[in-house]
Amino acid sequence: MNMKITMVIPSYWARESKTGWKEGDGIYDHPTPLDEEGTLHRAIQSIKVLADKEFQLVIIAVSSAVDIESKVEEKVASIIKSSNPGVEVLLFGASHLRQIHELLVSESKNEDTDLLQLRGYSNVRNLCMFVPHILGSDAAVLIDDDEVFEDPEFMTKAREFIGRDSEGKAINAVAGYYLQPDGDYHVKKPSRPWMKYWDQYDRMNEAFDNVIGTEPRLKDTPFVFGGNMVVHRNLFTVVPFDPDVPRGEDIDFLINAKMFGYSFFLDNQLSIKHLPPPKTHPIWRSLREDLYRFIYERAKIDSQKEVTGMTRVYPDEFDSYPGCFLKPDLESKIENASKLLSEEYLAQGDSEASEEALKNITLARTDAVPKFNPFQKLCALQRRWQVMMSFTAQERIRSRISDIISKEAK
């Protein structure tokens, strides 16, 4: 039987350029201002190169602010209308989510509404699995809107292993990888003195070489890319993304999956071209976002307890990346890197950025440390997610939500 697949592309949108970011708006890497075209149309158009078009495409319209949600839906709807990728395209936005929440409340499932939200990377990724679930798909293919397909066989490869077995292990998750604009998979960043201690790019490239650059084609992986992964319903109906991780939700999902006994494989032939707009964040902020995620993930690993049916994971399993940032020396890495970065800013005459870099040292020991047990909270979240996915799988509920999703945006 042919496997039913839904491809999901979240698209992030912000206020018009002249207005910019306002206090309380969601923070994303590079949301497209409403008065710009962005990268979504290019991504959708690139689907034309695919030989296998036997799938549904869902675009999730994500707004950085509540008061522009309807404009964002209109914008994304017009982009969908102007594209002709040769596959059925559905739009999912805030108006659809509101109707789903209303349905859940009418079924006395008020507590489930917070599991389905359009804010934050992890919540959006959870919708990337929930929508295919409702549409009756066997697998979800997660793609980002700043990518383009170049390999005509991409979907053929995406189907090839998912739902099968490899050496006795069920293949419920397959990661692909990104090709940079130059066609290579290595991350190329200019080396700076502070990176001696924060050797993120070196360790990433080392991990890429170990997994992408070697045979066999399919192998266990310590890293994944959120914009190129295939997740089977056996996994996405059981394990969610964790909304408490601020970013890096893709690798965090891999950690969650492993804890619940699921293997994640990388296919070294499943590539997509990544063409992101330039990031505008200062380096001290990028470092701050990274330290928050790694401290959180390390706490999740460190707080594991023996739970029936769960698998204990260890930082070494994720070497060389992200494992090297999940170990006891993380604080010293942060301290040494932040001090050198602070000195670099001072030499450039930017005292404000210099102070922000030093502030990272304090934050790593205070605010970044979770005030709850991340492992226990994940276990509670997983139980709720599984129950909610089970409830919405009932034909009576599923068909009603499916009707909502299949409607044109209002």
Q: Say if residue 56's pLDDT is above 80.
A: yes
pLDDT tens across 162-214, in order? 999 988 899 999 999 999 999 999 999 889 999 999 999 999 999 999 999 99
Confidence of residue 408 (pLDDT cuts 50, 70, 90): low
d(CA 14, CA 124): 15
Domain boundaries, the chain: 5-279+374-405
Q: Nearest to residue 348, comparing CAs of 189, 187, 194?
A: 194
d(CA 359, CA 337): 12
Contact call for residues 201 and 189 (beta carbons, < 8 A): yes
| CATH superfamily for domain 5-279+374-405 | Spore Coat Polysaccharide Biosynthesis Protein SpsA; Chain A (3.90.550.10)
User: What's the rounded Cα separation, in Å, for the pair 392 and 263?
Assistant: 25
Q: Tell which wins on pLDDT, 60 or 37.
A: 60
Q: What are the residue ranges of helices labelled H in 366-394?
A: 374-393
pLDDT at residue number 280: 74
Which H or E element spans position 346?
helix 330-347
Model-wide pTM > 0.75: yes
